[in-house]
Amino acid sequence: MKKLIFITLVLLLTCNESLSPEEDCGGEIIGGYCYGCTDPNACNWDPWASRFNNSCTYIPEGACDCEGKIYDCLGLCGGTAVIDECNVCGGDGIADGTCDCDGNGPIENYDCTGNCIVTVDCTGECGGSIAEDECGVCGGNGKPEGACDCNGNIYDCAGECGGDAELDAIGLCGGTCTNDTNGDGVCDD
């Protein structure tokens, strides 16, 4: 019986201590033994290692595998699903043409951030229709009827807008005659 225990003990010790085959050792071979990580739970476990050398590495904290991948929001290790701006895992986010996660569109004439996207009228109203008149007055009526400018001036007899030339007594523009008593077109001054 002692012989049987001794043979069993020798077989157990030599079976795992001697490398077979040598080329499969992932660590270092010293004295015919494979030194490496002997922990099967480690990332770099070497099934051929018979001697532990403190080289074991493990899944990094926060990772889901030895490559450092992390779980996505669907729980897949190394997956690509993310939580979108609508707080939906793997969602498409805010749909094109809408401004929020509820599908609300922009206010008429504005984009989603409140910028006017059409013409602003002279009152500052986005999309408004009030314009400046020819005198630069917002919503104004322009030049007064018969006037030659926005100040209400009229043309004088010389054709100058707002000028002071007048017809004299015999009908001469800018003339000096002040009296034609008989109306014969000859100055009586």
For 33-90, what is each residue's pLDDT tens digit?
Answer: 999 999 999 999 999 999 999 999 999 999 999 999 999 999 999 999 999 999 999 9
What pairs with residue 34 in β-bridges? 29
More confident residue, 151 or 9: 151
d(CA 83, CA 69) in angstroms, rounded, equals 17
Across 18-22, 91-95, 127-131, 143-147, least confident range: 18-22
pLDDT at residue 14, rounded to an integer? 41
For 156-182, what is each residue's pLDDT tens digit?
Answer: 999 999 999 999 999 999 999 999 889
For 113-157, what is each residue's pLDDT tens digit?
Answer: 999 999 999 999 999 999 999 999 999 999 999 999 999 999 999
pLDDT at residue 116, rounded to an integer? 97
Q: How confident is the model at residue 25 (pLDDT cuts 50, 70, 90)?
A: confident
pLDDT at residue 22, rounded to an integer? 57
**Is the pLDDT at 6 greater than 60, yes or no?**
no
Q: If you average pLDDT over residues 108-115, what whole number do you get? A: 94
**Is the pLDDT at 183 greater than 90, yes or no?**
no
Which one, of 158, 127, 154, lies nearest residue 143 by Cα?
154
Domain positions in the chain are 2-52, 63-105, 150-176
The total of other beta-carbon atoms located within 10 Å of residue 93's CB is 12
More confident residue, 18 or 100: 100
Which one, of 169, 148, 165, lies nearest residue 157 by Cα?
165
